[in-house]
Amino acid sequence: DAGVIQSPRHEVTEMGQEVTLRCKPISGHNSLFWYRQTMMRGLELLIYFNNNVPIDDSGMPEDRFSAKMPNASFSTLKIQPSEPRDSAVYFCASSFFSFVLNTEAFFGQGTRLTVV
Amino acid sequence: RKEVEQDPGPFNVPEGATVAFNCTYSNSASQSFFWYRQDCRKEPKLLMSVYSSGNEDGRFTAQLNRASQYISLLIRDSKLSDSATYLCVVTLRTFGTGTKLQVIP
């Protein structure tokens, strides 16, 4: 399996521009997570999908952030308009959720976003 | 109080040493716990899940204490390759800020 695939790996954009991050989860996984990592705040959960449905988006910082999962093999995280304080590494992760198993999440390599 | 708290370190230990990390969590209803390892500028990778009865994987031992709401990670016979940041994770929703380990030759 190729693992979780994120694109782009690096993104540099100007303040005010729209940014779209993409994620392909591991085939067969039914849960998908978007995280943001900064030096100051560490790794934070932004949103969590289960069976393509957003379950918990309480970590989405503000209305400028939106996430979609149109099907089981694709998700996007969009920032519009972007601001310098959005600069961070954004990770996507997927897992197979079951009430029986103590399942772990597998991470993509991340997108390093710089907003100037 | 933070949901998950870890000592940020760094822990600088010589090769062959035994080192232990602790992590406390605030939500007593939490059901799943993990230790992840993150190398510099890389993605986090699962080191081990933490089970109620405790579990061991080679040189690594994880323990869960529900009464005191903490989990621990013990690394025996440290290797240079163990140098990394170790993240305590609760329910995949809450990550500790990580404990940095540097194993010195």
State pLDDT tens for residues A47-65: 999 999 999 999 998 899 9
> Which tens digits make up the pLDDT trace of B42-87?
999 999 999 888 899 999 999 999 999 999 999 999 999 999 999 9
- The rounded percent of chain A whose pLDDT value lies above 70 is 95
* Residue B94 to residue A91, Cβ atoms within 8 A: no
What's the alpha-carbon Rg for chain A, to the nearest Å?
Answer: 14
Q: Is A113 in contact with A88 (CB distance < 8 Å)?
A: yes
CB atoms within 10 A of CB B87: 24
- Report helix, strand or coil for B24: strand
Q: Which helix (H) or strand (E) holds B14?
A: strand B11-14
A75 in reach of chain B (CB within 8 A): no
Residue B21: pLDDT band (50, 70, 90) is very high
- Report helix, strand or coil for A67: strand
Burial of B103 (0-12, 13-18, 19+ CB in 10 A): buried
- Report helix, strand or coil for A49: strand
> Which tens digits make up the pLDDT trace of B91-104?
888 999 999 999 99
Q: Are strands B55-57 and B45-50 parallel, antiparallel or unpaired?
A: unpaired
Contact list, A102 vs chain B (CB under 8 Å): 31-32, 49, 51
Mean of pLDDT over chain A: 93
Q: A85-109 as b/e, with b when 16 or more CB fall inside 10 Å?
A: ebbbbbbbbbbebeeeeebbbbbbb
Q: CA nearest B5 in A: which residue?
A: A42
* Residue B51 to residue A102, Cβ atoms within 8 A: yes
Contact list, B96 vs chain A (CB under 8 Å): 42
Rounded mean pLDDT, B19-28: 94
Q: How many helices (H) and strands (E) does chain A have?
A: 0, 11
Encoding tokens for residue A41? 């705040």
